[in-house]
Amino acid sequence: MRVAVIGTGYVGLVAGACFASTGNHVIGVDIDDDKINRLRRGEIPIYEPGLETLVREGIEKERLEFSVDLAHGVRESDVIFIAVGTPPNEDGSADLQHVLDVAEGIGRALNGFKIIVDKSTVPVGTASLVTNAIRTRTDHAFTVVSNPEFLKEGDAVNDFLKPERVIIGADDDRGHDTLARLYRPFILKNNRIIHMDVVSAELTKYTANAFLATRISFMNEIARLCERVGADIEHVRQGIGSDSRIGPAFLYAGVGYGGSCFPKDVQAILRTASQYGVDLEIIEATERVNEGQKKVMFEKIAHQYDGGIQGKTFAVWGLSFKPRTDDMREAPSIVIINSLLAAGAEVRAFDPEAMQVARGVFGDTVTLCEDEYETVEGADALVLVSEWNDFRTPDFAKLADRLADRAVFDGRNIWDPEYVRSFGLTYHGVGRKV
Ligand SMILES: NC(=O)c1ccc[n+]([C@@H]2O[C@H](COP(=O)([O-])OP(=O)(O)OC[C@H]3O[C@@H](n4cnc5c(N)ncnc54)[C@H](O)[C@@H]3O)[C@@H](O)[C@H]2O)c1
């Protein structure tokens, strides 16, 4: 098949490279000149395991090309994916400007029947808006399909090549059949294509993210109770996660959820609901709890230092919003570090992949270090914010030696408190006994 993917970010680039890997011809289109030039040279602008190899293979086999010319992508393709960003507006609703700009461009360039696919996460009713934006600019026939994406940054290629399910929301058979053919190589094993109408598909994506975010906020609330009653959230988590009706995923207490999806998608479903006059009380609480949770680690630090943070130096490990990505959008590290800086502390930080992004976020307000042990040189305490594998078994003797106040704040509960304490360090987790 001939496919265009408009937007070559985390979703568009992965989708394009994966579709090219099964023999399709794919044109990746972006408005960012610099990004397209780098991609043409086989340079990947983001960190995503396995992606570089796939993109380079696609280019070498001449199945994957990149362009800034939307009209070229549209004319040369039968299926056109819209995978541009949908950031939040001031009021929390999804900003559809990029999606509608692309839709207008598609309308102007259409040269025959095409299948247009909303791959971006977009609110209920967007397929109609996209349809109208195209229809007013062309006489050619087309159909708009909703195919929300469920990949996880850090495991995106794997998720795309072996999806747990593919959702196809379409109002005619051509949309259902063509997308099912395109995805067939990825779902041969479990055949999990779920066909539905467009509006249900649009809502499925937001419901999934709101549900996962709710599990996290739920556990963060229970963590607060654990601290009060002297229980350990890690025991509680294992205890409930072993129940097959609950399952073990997304039950981790910590510093709150962040990233480019959960915060914005939770807000966007709340906006949609309020537009339709529906109160989503559970999801409202999910967001409220998360806003509080982002401050929890700083409050623990402030409490430990009795408010005397000024002049202290903190080492921070992990800046991306989660491991295996360099994405720092809505990362809890930003809230924690900015709170420390505002309180007059100095921060020395390290992340295995997000250092370049961090430079853009913090400028020279934070000392960015070469590795995790350089951060603790001259530091008083250590704060772990994202749980990269590299941080799971550190040399605690070295930390005890270098940290002046011998204190560690484990924002993800990855360390065994007793073991850490055996090195003479003070341990602070989330929802665990102090
Ligand atoms: N990142 C994720 O993990 C993830 C997972 C599932 C769904 N999504 C959704 O997918 C969509 C894209 O997310 P992302 O993380 O890939 O975003 P991103 O910001 O990484 O990439 C978006 C790309 O679109 C390009 N773009 C913007 N306007 C354009 C235009 N008019 N023409 C061509 N290109 C344009 C930008 O230059 C950028 O390269 C969002 O709706 C997001 O919610 C993201």
Say whether both 180 and 243 belong to one domain.
no
Looking at the structure, tell me whether residues 310 and 415 fall in a common domain. yes
Please list the active-site residues.
261
**DSSP secondary structure letter of residue 27:** E
Q: CB of 44 closer than 6 A to ligand 1?
A: no
Q: Is the CB of 259 under 6 A from ligand 1?
A: no
Residue 322: CATH number of its domain: 3.40.50.720
> What per-residue confidence (pLDDT) applies to 191?
72
Mutate to test the pocket of ligand 1, among 5, 6, 10 (most ligand atoms within 8 A of CB): 10
Residue 296 resides in a domain: yes
Say yes or no: 266 and 117 in one domain: no
Q: Kindly state if the Cβ of 9 falls inside 6 Å of ligand 1.
A: yes
Each residue's pLDDT tens digit, 307-326:
899 999 999 999 999 999 99
Q: What's residue 190's pLDDT?
A: 73
Give me the pLDDT at residue 251, please: 98
CA distances, 189 to each of 20, 160, 192 (Å)? 20, 14, 9
84 CA to middle of ligand 1, Å? Answer: 4
For the chain, how many structural domains are there in total?
2
Identify the sign of the CA torsion 350, 356, 362, 364: positive
In this structure, is residue 34 part of a structural domain? yes
| 94 CA from centroid of ligand 1 (Å) | 12
Same domain, 347 and 395: yes
Note whether residue 220 is domain-resident. no
Tell me the residue type at 104.
E
> Is residue 388 a part of any domain in this protein?
yes
Answer yes or no: is the C-beta of 85 below 6 A from any ligand 1 atom: yes
* Assigned domain for 206 exists: no
Distance in angstroms (rounded) separating the CA atoms of residues 72 and 343: 53
Considering the domain architecture, whether residues 28 and 153 belong to the same structural domain is answered as: yes
Domain boundary pick from 172, 196, 220: 196
Q: Where are the alpha helices (DSSP H) in 10-93?
A: 10-21, 33-40, 51-60, 70-75
Helix (H, G, I), strand (E, B) or coil at 168: strand
Which one of 175, 196, 217 terminates a domain?
196
Q: Are residues 255 and 123 in the same domain?
A: no
Q: In what order do the strands lie in the sheet with 2-6?
A: 64-67, 25-29, 2-6, 79-82, 114-118, 142-146, 166-169, 193-196
Same domain, yes or no: 38 and 180: yes
Task: Output the residue whose Cα is nearest ligand 1's atom 1.
Answer: 10
For residues 296 and 247, state if they share a domain. Answer: yes
Q: Is the model's pTM score more than 0.75?
A: yes
Residue 307 is predicted with a pLDDT of 81
Residues 38 and 153 in one domain: yes
Same domain? For 191 and 244 the reply is: no
Question: pLDDT digit of tens for each residue in the chain (434 aa)?
Answer: 999 999 999 999 999 999 999 999 999 999 999 999 999 999 999 999 999 999 999 999 999 999 999 999 999 999 999 999 999 999 999 999 999 999 999 999 999 999 999 999 999 999 999 999 999 999 999 999 999 999 999 999 999 999 999 999 999 999 999 999 999 999 987 779 999 999 999 999 999 999 999 999 999 999 999 999 999 999 999 999 999 999 999 999 999 999 999 999 999 999 999 999 999 999 999 999 999 999 999 999 999 999 899 999 999 999 999 999 999 999 999 999 999 999 999 999 999 999 999 999 999 999 999 999 999 999 999 999 999 999 999 999 999 999 999 999 999 999 999 999 999 999 999 999 87
Residue 316 structural domain: 233-428
Residue 222 lies in a domain: no
Q: Is 215 contained in some domain? A: no
395 and 275 belong to one structural domain? yes
Half-sphere exposure of 302 (CA within 13 A, CB side): 14
Provide the pLDDT for residue 359. 97
Q: Are residues 246 and 122 in the same domain?
A: no
pLDDT at 331: 96
Inside any domain, residue 219: no
